[in-house]
Structure 1
Amino acid sequence: MSRKLILGIAIIALLVAACGEDEEEAAPATTAAPATTAAPVEEAPEEVPEEEPEEPGGPYEAMIRPAEQPWKIGYGDGLSGIPFTDSVTDNINAVAAEMGVEIVYCDNAYDQERTVECSNLLVTQQVDGVIFANWIAGTEELIAGIFQDAGIPCVSYDGPHPGCVAFGPDNYNAALEAGRYLAAFAQEQGWAAEDTHLLLVWTPDVPVHKARADGARDGVRESFAIPDENIHDIPTEGLTDTLPNVTTWATANPGAQHVLCFGHSDQPGVDCALALEQSGFLGNAAAASLGASDEALVDLRGRSDDESVFKATISYFPERYGQYLVPAIVDLIEGKTVPERLIPSVSPVTRDNVEQLYPGGELDETAMGDEDEYQAVIREASGAFRIGYGDGLSGIPFTDSVTDNINAVAAEMGVEIVYCDNAYDQERTVECSNLLVTQQVDGVIFANWIAGTEELIAGIFQDAGIPCVSYDGPHPGCVAFGPDNYNAALEAGRYLAAFAQEQGWAAEDTHLLLVWTPDVPVHKARADGARDGVRESFAIPDENIHDIPTEGLTDTLPNVTTWATANPGAQHVLCFGHSDQPGVDCALALEQSGYLGHAAAASLGASDEALVDLRQRSDDESVFKATISYFPERYGTYLVPAIVDLIEGKTVPERLIPSVSPVTRDNVFDLYPG
């Protein structure tokens, strides 16, 4: 099978995998050994839309605790190099380290042949259990069978596989929460159920949408008995159908007093709210949806309850998957009972908590990290421009969140998005780029991660005279948007310097360790940034600055320990890790070497190995102090204004960099509630 075809199939798999297929109700979990941390997960009720879901026998708790033995856990990564899967991998590594188990890694690479090869390799390496992601539709039995034939327990995420525990968000349950929120809102307003209508916006041909619509309906009716005749399906074929279809319903139902609306995702939810506002229901309607995407966050931040019908979006945090996955596979290996399906908890994001859960300031005027203080302003464009958008790879949560944000901001600015999925494939990326030119777009936003094709793709747009903005990968002649490694590390260095000064340490008595891999250019930029950030205000002498070279993530602990052993006279130590795992491991090595109270470590990424430490241990217990975070899911708030500015002839810097900020024990629960 060609890679191009495989990728296409995989995208379909992602869309249907989370649909919550009917499964037998899982047995209650056996209580695990005493734990240091608990990540609660719900057992999935059977999704029988016409009946109330049964209450589970009790919540299974995924306990982060010392394993009975240093088990070997196979991990088949869905596709490395994508921020979504990389954050899952980082969290798996962090939790595995806490539990004292070994991760045996293999990248399934979003490819059928590679996934089979990885699965067999993990079996050959005699792993005790397997965590994996496989999004190639139709291969579920094949992959699961490899582990079952070898007698190896398995946990899959974001795609159920027969015989393996399935972990991932449940569409019915997430929508159930949205329905419950809408019911509570209606009751707070004093609306009578018989005078209230419920609109369910969903696409009938998409199974996941049916589960969501059913969940929303059941969530509302748990406590707010809207009669059957007041519940209305609003069928759509695409995201642009919601506004006209809801408007049509409102026109046909002038006598409706109050309206609740559920959107299967945030764009339909926001559009339903807008249609109801335009139809005169402001103050007598409420809308909610799923995803915590930026179209919802823009509304929640930018408008008050008195100005907007949109009230809430339901959020879950996939980047924290490891907190569930690793304990679950360890429990299986140790013979404990784990439900057949594990579902992470979800919660509403409203105007009351949006800034705590998704801090981002004012989205209509977002400053870039550029020396000229360029501002990407969300405003009405001077014309209804057509913006080509070459999606890096649809169906991956990271890119989907970028796409959602681009669509939301484009709608606000009054421009049209002409979409094409580059599908992480060279032929398809060339085809999409030429297609966008043929469709005479006014400008292009795109992601292309095929190494060596940068000039080829950028040249297509330049030859056509079309301005372009690329993200997460610079292309010659296009504005490049994405986090800057040097600047992010600069912030880490500044944080470490401030920490040292607060402790009253003298610069000449302090050593700075820079943990990075010399063969990786991005690591060099990070190490340089951290060094410069420290020395801006804390003049550590050259002889006290030490590179700690590594070849892989597991090298940090022994290499820092070796340095500490060789430098027994060092009074104070600052440590920078090129990413969070090295940062946390450097801190651990310094603690074990007797530097607790005389050392501080910081790193980049806001990955879960860092968040776990910041949440669970105090400053007195841990050398690790901070991680630097940026929010790639908000890219559209920069990308769309930038391309509109280019089209309108305004000056845009060649490089745009989103702001970054430290996550510490003081703010971790506000920025990353867990």
Structure 2
Amino acid sequence: MRSRRLLITVLAGATVMVLPTACSTGKAGGGSSAKPQTVPATPGSGASVAPPSGESGAVQFQQAAPGSGKGLKIGLITLDDSVPFSKLVSDSIKKQAKAAGATLVYCDSKGDGATALACARTFKVQGVKGYLNFQSDAKSANAICAAGPAVPVIAIDITQGSCQTSFMGANNEFAGTLAGKALGTYMKKNFDCKYDAFVSMEEPDAGDVNTARMGGYRKGFESVCGPVEHLKTENAFRIDQARTTFADVLTTLPGAHRIVVAAINDDAIEGALAAAKTAGRTKDLFVSGQGADPSSWCDIKSNPQWVGDTAYFPERYGEIGVPYLIRAIKGQTVPKDLLVPHQIIDPANIDSVYHPSC
């Protein structure tokens, strides 16, 4: 559901069949120049991250067991690997598929429902025994289910219709609540909860994900500052889109100097801050985001307007998705929800979690 930037780097290694948009087939694995330098547990160690207090349904990150996927062909419909969050997720899945010894059939939907539908059809022809689906058009989910093979399906971050075996990814309401509470706590401490506007940057097409995450924001904020006032809801979740939209928002708030901004992803926050900078109003915004993307680390660490951010750890998604998909293919029962153990990232703890170089 998230839209972010990243170049694609390919390394030799795992068996990955790339279909249909990349137009190549062969041995490849994933790697990223924006890959985090560290994660909450030592990379590659198989160490787990315990769910924070209050988060139900979260599971631990674990490395795929070597050889557990031998002889299996699994699929991945990814969101759009020209953008960072999606690329980090894909790279993690490729790494774990390689560790498990599975053949991965990879297909980039490019954020397009029709392309995702074509991916599912290809999986059926290819004889995929189970797949992970990270496509963004919730309204197309059932059609994609019908087009694909009748096999276990693990949805990534967006519910994927009637064929979904498990939902893997964000605990959206909890993730929103963490960032909303961080915003509320900041506004309470510094301004006694007095502000001029609360702008919610959303992605309505994401359906329940958007409702849960952005509703969680308001729930968290309201737990500290009471009912949200002066609410503006905007459909803006890509950087360029958010920059344009927020420039328009600022023109409607000419005298506002305390604008609270909640966003469905970090891209929307980056776009809003870019618009405010152009308008000479950076200090009017107080923001929190979702994802704690590498592109945001330096702002989270050093920009006093960036109050906090909920971490999703996309660089470890494969440590949940691949092991559980293999179990489902083998007929084992897997939980309905496979939720990421979220954590709030702020200037006080980002160096201990990610060690940004800035």
Which category of TM-score, normalised to the shorter sequence, fits these structures?
A: 0.5 to 0.7
1:405 aligns with 2:113: no
1:418 aligned to 103, 115, 118, which one?
103
**Counterpart contact for 1:575–1:583, Cα < 8 Å:** yes
**Is the contact made by 1:368 and 1:376 (CA closer than 8 Å) also made in structure 2?**
no
Whole-angstrom CA distance in 1 between matches of 2:62 and 2:298: 35
2:155 corresponding residue in structure 1: 470
Aligned mate of 1:357, from 37, 40, 58: 37
Q: Conserved in 1, the CA contact under 8 Å of 2:290 and 2:309?
A: yes
- C-alpha distance 450-386 of structure 1, shift in aligned 2 (>3 A): farther
Cα pair 1:492 1:628 within 8 Å, conserved: yes
Match of 2:347 in 1: 665
- Counterpart-to-counterpart distance in 2, 1:578 and 1:382: 37
Q: What is the CA-CA distance between 1:461 and the residue it aligns to?
A: 7.2
Is the 2:184–2:225 Cα contact (8 Å) retained in structure 1?
Answer: no
1:316 is matched with: 33
Partner of 2:288: 602
Residue 417 of structure 1 and its aligned partner are, at CA, apart by 1.3
Whole-angstrom CA distance in 2 between matches of 1:673 and 1:667: 14
Do 1:388 and 1:419's aligned partners in 2 also have CA atoms closer than 8 Å? yes
1:374-426 CA-to-partner distances (Å, cap 9, x unmatched) read 4465575997775431133698754651343222552xxxxx41332345444
Are 1:494 and 1:534, in contact at CA under 8 Å, matched by a contact in 2? yes
The alignment status of 1:574 with 2:291, answered yes or no, reads no
Task: Check whether the contact 1:390–1:445 (CA below 8 A) recurs between aligned residues.
Answer: yes
TM-score normalised by length of structure 1: 0.39
TM-score (norm 2): 0.67
Paired residues for 1:18-97 under 5 Å = 86-88=4-6
Quote the sequence identity (%).
Answer: 15
- Once the two structures are superposed, the pairs formed by residues 333-344 of structure 1 within 5 Å of their partners are none
DSSP 3-state at the match of 2:5:
helix
Q: Residues 436 and 605 of structure 1: is their aligned pair in 2 closer, same or farther, counting only changes over 3 Å?
A: same
Q: 1:641 aligns with which of 308, 323, 326?
A: 323
Write the mapping of 1:225-240 to structure 2, written as runs, cut at 5 A.
239=14
**Counterpart amino acid of 1:638?**
I
In the alignment, which residue of structure 1 is the partner of 2:245? 555
Offset, 1:511:
5.4
Contact 2:198 2:230 in 1 (8 A): yes
Q: How far does the alpha carbon of each residue in 1:495-533 deviate from its partner, in whole angstroms, 9 at most, with x for none?
A: 112323444x434x3556133258544555443221111
Query: What is the correspondence of 1:94-109 to structure 2 with a 5 Å cutoff?
Result: none
Say which SS state the counterpart of residue 94 (structure 2) adopts: helix
Do the aligned partners of residues 548 and 446 (structure 1) sit closer, same or farther apart at CA in structure 2, a change above 3 Å counting?
closer
- The alpha carbon displacement at 1:606 in A equals 3.4
Q: Which residue of 2 aligns with 1:495?
A: 182
Q: Deviations over 1:305-358 (max 9, x none)?
A: xxxxxxxxxx7327xxxxxxxxxxxxxxxxxxxxxxxxxxxxxxxxxxxxx822
Match of 2:102, SS state, is strand
Q: Residues of 2 paired with 1:386 and 1:657: CA distance? A: 28
Give the distance between the partners of 2:342 and 2:330, measured in 1 at CA.
28
1:374, 1:498 → 2: CA distance? 28
Tell me: CA distance 1:560–1:627, structure 2 relative to 1, closer, same or farther (3 Å): farther
Q: Distance in 2 between matches of 1:450 and 1:593?
A: 33
Residues 388 and 364 from structure 1, CA distance in 2 versus in 1: closer, same or farther, beyond 3 angstroms? Answer: farther
1:436 is the counterpart of 2:115: no
CA distance in 2, matches of 1:317, 1:384: 28
| Root mean square deviation of aligned Cα | 4.5
**Are 1:557 and 1:585, in contact at CA under 8 Å, matched by a contact in 2?**
no
User: What is the 5 A alignment of 1:51-450?
Assistant: 86-88=4-6, 239=14, 316-317=33-34, 357-361=37-41, 363-366=46-49, 371-375=56-60, 377-378=62-63, 386-392=71-77, 397-398=87-88, 400-410=90-100, 416-422=101-107, 424=109, 425=115, 426-436=117-127, 441=129, 444-447=130-133, 449=135
1:360–1:387 distance in 2 versus 1, CA, 3 Å:
farther
1:652 and 1:501, CA in 2 relative to 1: closer, same or farther beyond 3 A? farther
Distance change (3 Å), C-alpha of 1:377 and 1:517: closer
Task: Identify the residue that residue 656 of structure 1 maps to in structure 2.
Answer: 338
Q: Give the CA deviation at 1:545.
A: 4.5
8 Å Cα contact 1:365/1:378 also seen in 2: no
2:357 partner amino acid? P
Q: Tell me: CA distance 1:593–1:489, structure 2 relative to 1, closer, same or farther (3 Å).
A: same
Tell me, yes or no, if the aligned pair for 1:482 and 1:657 is still in contact at 8 Å.
yes
Decide whether the 8 Å contact of 2:266 with 2:293 is kept in 1. yes
Aligned to 2:309: 627
Moved more, 545-554 or 632-641: 545-554
Q: Do the aligned partners of residues 453 and 555 (structure 1) sit closer, same or farther apart at CA in structure 2, a change above 3 Å counting?
A: closer
Give the match's secondary structure for 1:600: strand
Partner of 1:165: none
Residues 488 and 545 of structure 1: CA distance in aligned 2, closer, same or farther (over 3 Å): farther
For 1:546, the equivalent position in structure 2 comes to 231
Matched-pair contact (CA < 8 Å) for 1:405–1:635: no
CA distance in structure 2 between the aligned counterparts of 1:594 and 1:366, rounded to whole angstroms = 35
User: How many residues are aligned here?
Assistant: 317
Matched, 1:481 2:172: no
Return the alpha-carbon distance in structure 2 between the equivalents of residues 563 and 490 of structure 1.
Answer: 26
CA contact (8 A) 1:376 1:642 kept: no
For 1:462 and 1:495, the matched residues in 2 are separated by 43
**Aligned counterparts of 1:578 and 1:470: Cα–Cα separation in 2:** 18
CA contact (8 A) 1:610 1:627 kept: no
Shift in CA distance, 614/633, structure 1 to aligned 2, threshold 3 Å:
closer
Corresponding residue SS for 2:219: helix
Q: Secondary structure at the match of 1:613?
A: helix
